[in-house]
Amino acid sequence: MASKAAHKRLTKEFLTMQREPPPFVWAAPDEKNILTWNFLIRGPPDSPFAGGEYHGVLLFPAEYPFKPPGIKMITPSGRFQPDRRICFSMSDFHPGSWNPAWSCATILTGLLSFMLSDEMTTGSVTSSDSHKRAFAQRSHAWNIIQPRFKEAFPEHCAPELRELPNMGEQSRGKPESPTTTRAPFIFSGASSSVPTSPTSTPTPVITTANSDIIRRRLPVPNRDNTKAPTPTTGWATTWRGVIWEKWRWGALIALAVVVSRFSSGA
């Protein structure tokens, strides 16, 4: 049984895998046991595994992420022995080199890189590139008749090979494929409303309640068509009135003086 820490971590990693699957890789937990993950690896182009579809399992310990998982590849590939544990730096063969910060995506990316190399280890086999290509061509037909594959990936059991969510299109300068992989189940602790598309994002919804709140926070426009005078405009108007009054009285006094002088002279 998974520890609380393992369950929480694996739940988070499953959601991350759905949102941001690594290139040529897909994985999901078993419906009955979150510590067992089924994965698919697609052979990258320009490699002997091009066009291949490889099913395997990750066997996480109850102490994960503080201990590494066991790793098996079930589909014959010409690189690993089918259904045998594989020894490499991120597997349970090397607990001393394990880093708890590594995730399922990190492990599978590392496994794919190791698969493309020629390094020999426990669980690996030696074969020519032509044999690897032959295994790749037969891999999907082999997978769809296997009970474990049909149970883990029913959506991939059609006669035609189905693409994974991330086929490395961006690295080759092409747009991402719109094809998505359906999550085989939503285990306890994960919301059933989580989108399975890695590019989908929830659309904000404004309800009547929060629209009223937003409306109350918006500034209320001035309903009067006349613009309210600013303090600066009010002071200017006042000074203009004072000056006008003084000028008017001064003009009247000057006029009165002139009239009186003319009257005296007459």
List, by residue number, the catalytic residues.
87
Closest CA to 24 of 168, 198, 162: 168
SS3 70: strand
Peptide bond into 221 cis (omega under 30): no
Amino acid type, 263: S
Dihedral angle over CA of 223, 225, 230, 231, nearest 10: -80
Q: 206: Cβ–Cβ under 8 A, 6 or more apart, which residues?
A: 214
Residue 38 to residues 32, 217, 220, 242, Cα–Cα distance (Å): 12, 50, 58, 90
Look up residue 143 and give its two tokens. 């997978």
d(CA 8, CA 247): 86
Task: Judge residue 196's burial from the number of C-beta atoms within 10 Å of its C-beta, 0-12 exposed, 13-18 middle, 19 or more buried.
Answer: middle
d(CA 252, CA 112): 103
